[in-house]
Amino acid sequence: MSRGVDLPVKILLVDDLPENLLALAALLRRDEIELLEARSGSEALELLLAHPVALALVDVQMPDMDGFELAELMRGSERTRSIPIIFVTAGAHDERRIFQGYETGAVDFLFKPIDPHILRSKVDVFVELAQQRQQLAHELREKTETLRLQEMFTAMLGHDLRGPLSAIVMGSILLEKKATDDTTRRSAARTLASAKAMSHMIADMLDLARVRLAGGIPIRHEAVDLGALLRHAIEEQRAAFPDRRIELRATGQLEGQWDGSRVTQVVSNLVGNAIQHGDADGTVDCELDGSQEDAVTLSVSNGGRIPDDLLPHVFDPFRSRETHRTRNDGLGLGLYIVDQIARAHGGSATVASGDDRPTTFRVVLPRRSRDGVAA
């Protein structure tokens, strides 16, 4: 394994006799090991609080606090309970005491006089394990930092792309209006549609970056009539897909405090998903239920069926592209963004699908915002 770090592995030696500590240190000392020496259980506990120790070699027979009592104290602390302990003893092979040692957390026993080869081989195992943990921790830090930089780059790229993309959109609109022949007009319309699709992808990229870097999608609460908002959002979908039937039912009290632009994004993503993956001849049913006092529920249903293995993962980022792969699918972030917006409002997004019922996405938006302001 390639080493990304070269920190010494710390081993604690505990014995009340200085000559025993000297002998153990002479057998174990080398560059990759840092030896910590304690002449009592209390000294050992002080060192354990100050240093990350990979292994403790503990003498059993010590005054005031013997090795078993020290081990019990180590097992009672979150910081030290996972440190492996090898007991060193000059006593006979007493099975009762050996059992007591293992019961207090020992991983092994060494009996005096100590065989240097056995000592080094046992210690080497724990030194190698500690070095592997250091290497894995180093690699994890590197990968985490690389991921953070990639997400920052994605956020900056998405932000910077909006400028030139706006110029393309405006140019396409002007060209479409000024065109004098059908070929140019159709070409401008295709360019405009592609630019709008790219704009949605960039918006999804920025939302993903906000979730990863800022801990969630920012929400701005304002007075919203969800009925009017939903009707407007669905009219836009009908204009974009004139050959598809989209029905709307709205009941109950639909006014409250939400982020209107984000809720519009939820509706567009859910209806667009139903049109894209549902039955081509089926109807997309949208229902807004404001009959509950504490929340409003949005349901979007279509005649398709989500496979059982995909159902638990539909709100995962990019997962939808594993099953539905076409050039115009986008980034596979639409349902993930829906879930994040619902969470940011303090609500939830769920899905149900089966052979005997339509696929239904349900988003619950609480009337009371996270900061406790009543709708």
Alpha helices, H only, the chain:
18-28, 41-50, 67-75, 95-103, 116-178, 182-214, 226-240, 260-277, 334-344
Fold topology of 222-366? Heat Shock Protein 90 (3.30.565)
The predicted structure's pLDDT at residue 10? 94
Listed in order, strand segments (DSSP E) in 245-368 are 245-252, 255-258, 283-290, 295-302, 348-354, 357-366
Confidence of residue 258 (pLDDT cuts 50, 70, 90): very high
Q: Which of 322, 198, 157, 340 is nearest to 265 (CA)?
A: 340
What's the average model confidence in pLDDT over 258-281?
87
E strand or H helix at 38: strand 33-38
- 308-334: per-residue pLDDT in tens? 888 888 888 766 545 444 444 555 778
* Residues with Cβ within 8 Å of residue 236, at least 6 apart in sequence: 268
- Distance in angstroms (rounded) separating the CA atoms of residues 56 and 130: 13
Tokens of 303: 């005649």
E strand or H helix at 85: strand 85-89
The predicted structure's pLDDT at residue 1? 43
What's the average model confidence in pLDDT over 234-242?
83
Order of strands, sheet of 85-89, starting from the edge strand that comes earlier in the sequence: 33-38, 9-14, 55-59, 85-89, 106-111
- Distance in angstroms (rounded) separating the CA atoms of residues 53 and 34: 10
- Distance in angstroms (rounded) separating the CA atoms of residues 39 and 48: 13
The predicted structure's pLDDT at residue 368? 67
Is residue 336 scored above 90 in pLDDT? no
* Residues with Cβ within 8 Å of residue 210, at least 6 apart in sequence: 155, 216, 217, 218
Confidence of residue 281 (pLDDT cuts 50, 70, 90): confident
Residue pair 29/9 in contact (Cβ under 8 Å)? The answer is no
Is residue 157 scored above 50 in pLDDT? yes
Classified as helix, coil or strand, 252 is: strand
What is the domain partition of the chain in residue ranges? Answer: 9-114, 159-214, 222-366
Is residue 185 scored above 80 in pLDDT? yes
Residue pair 101/83 in contact (Cβ under 8 Å)? The answer is no
CATH number of the 9-114 domain:
3.40.50.2300
Average pLDDT, the chain: 82
Q: Which of 335, 330, 320 is nearest to 202 (CA)?
A: 330
What's the average model confidence in pLDDT over 338-367?
90
The b-or-e profile of 304-330 (16+ CB within 10 A means b, else e) is: bbbeeeeeeebbebebbeeeeeeeeeb
E strand or H helix at 58: strand 55-59
